[in-house]
């Protein structure tokens, strides 16, 4: 069995032709002077090709296109300031590098959402904003989490998490980024007698939480 490398874009001949056509339409200058243009034309994948993703497709998607209806978007801290800071830094880098004929780059607007576009997309969903200066007595107040890292060589590897769970009055949700990682956490919990329940999504946790609040 031979497994090909997974990519976010096709690399067959029609895709390479479309890439070169969009390059000529959107990027000024002689494309034959660009190593990226020549590499894609020959079927090679140069480093940093993800920053040319819009040239492989008629249109690209954002994270919001993958969120199911009814999702809740949690905004932590001063999101607008963070986006603006990133946008300014990216725009400055674009101005510095855009004139390189050997490796021209796409403008930031072709790759990222600015603050206005980001918040416009969040209007389609419920929002929970947790500000940096949230009063401690408000309903959305939150505290800094202590370190709960697993201590593999300790007598009780989950000791930190266990002590936190014993002192914390509410319920605790532990999220894994893959099914394999979820099973690893569950196995570690069983081996250390840490009581927990596993589920493929977080929906059962939120359903129980909602039921408790309405009781």
- Give the pLDDT confidence score for residue 55 in this predicted structure: 94
Query: Stretch 100-104: mean pLDDT, rounded?
Result: 82
pLDDT, tens digit (0-9, with 9 covering 90-100), for 125-136:
998 887 665 555
Q: Which of 155, 158, 192 is nearest to 172 (CA)?
A: 158
Residue 78 placed within a domain? yes
For residues 130 and 80, state if they share a domain: yes
Tens digits of residue pLDDT in 1-58: 555 556 788 888 999 999 999 999 998 888 888 889 999 999 898 888 889 999 999 9
Q: Let me know if residue 150 belongs to a domain.
A: no
The answer on 91 and 45 residing in a single domain is no
Three state DSSP letters for 121-170: HHCCCEEEEECCCCCCCCCCCCCCCCCCCCCCCCCCCCHHHHHHHHHCCC
Residue 212's alpha-carbon distances to 7, 141, 201, 206, 207, in angstroms, are: 44, 19, 19, 10, 9
- If asked whether residues 77 and 55 sit together in one domain, one would say no
Domain hosting residue 174, numbered range: 159-214
If asked whether residues 79 and 102 sit together in one domain, one would say yes
130 and 75 in a common domain: yes
Query: What's the pLDDT score for residue 3?
Result: 55
65-79, 88-102, 174-188, 198-212: range with lowest mean pLDDT:
198-212
Whether 47 and 78 map to the same domain: the answer is: no
- In-domain check, residue 176: yes
Q: What is the average per-residue pLDDT within 114-131?
A: 90
Q: Residues 102, 104, 107, CA angle at the centre, nearest 5°?
A: 175
Torsion of CA 165, 168, 170, 173, to 10 degrees: -40
Among 119, 135, 151, which residue terminates a domain?
Answer: 135
Query: Residue 207 pLDDT > 80, yes or no?
Result: no
Q: Is the domain of 75 the same as that of 54?
A: no
* 26 or 101, higher pLDDT: 26
Query: What rounded mean pLDDT belongs to the chain?
Result: 84
How many domains, in total, are found in the chain?
A: 3
Specify the pTM.
0.62
Query: Average pLDDT of 107-125?
Result: 94
What would the two tokens of residue 130 be? 């947790």
Give a yes or no: residue 154 inside a domain.
Answer: no
Within a domain: 146: no
26 and 79 co-located in one domain? no
């Amino acid at each position: 069995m031979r497994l090909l490398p997974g990519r976010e874009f096709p690399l067959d001949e029609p895709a390479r032709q479309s890439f070169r056509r969009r390059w000529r339409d959107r990027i000024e200058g002689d494309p034959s002077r660009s190593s990226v243009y020549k590499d894609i034309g020959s079927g090679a994948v140069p480093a940093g090709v993800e920053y040319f993703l819009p040239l492989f497709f008629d249109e690209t998607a954002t994270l919001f296109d993958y969120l199911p209806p009814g999702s809740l978007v949690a905004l932590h801290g001063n999101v607008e300031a963070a986006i603006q800071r990133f946008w300014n830094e990216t725009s400055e880098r674009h101005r510095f590098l855009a004139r390189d004929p050997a490796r021209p780059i796409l403008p930031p607007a072709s790759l990222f959402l600015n603050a206005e576009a980001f918040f416009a997309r969040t209007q389609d969903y419920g929002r929970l904003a947790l500000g940096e200066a949230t009063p401690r007595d408000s309903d959305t107040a939150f505290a800094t989490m202590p370190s709960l890292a697993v201590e593999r060589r300790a007598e009780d590897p989950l000791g930190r998490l266990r002590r936190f769970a014993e002192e914390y009055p509410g319920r605790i949700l532990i999220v894994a980024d893959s099914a394999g990682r979820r099973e690893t956490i569950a196995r570690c919990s069983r081996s250390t007698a840490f009581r927990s329940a596993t589920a493929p999504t977080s929906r059962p946790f939120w359903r129980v939480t909602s039921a408790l609040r309405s009781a």
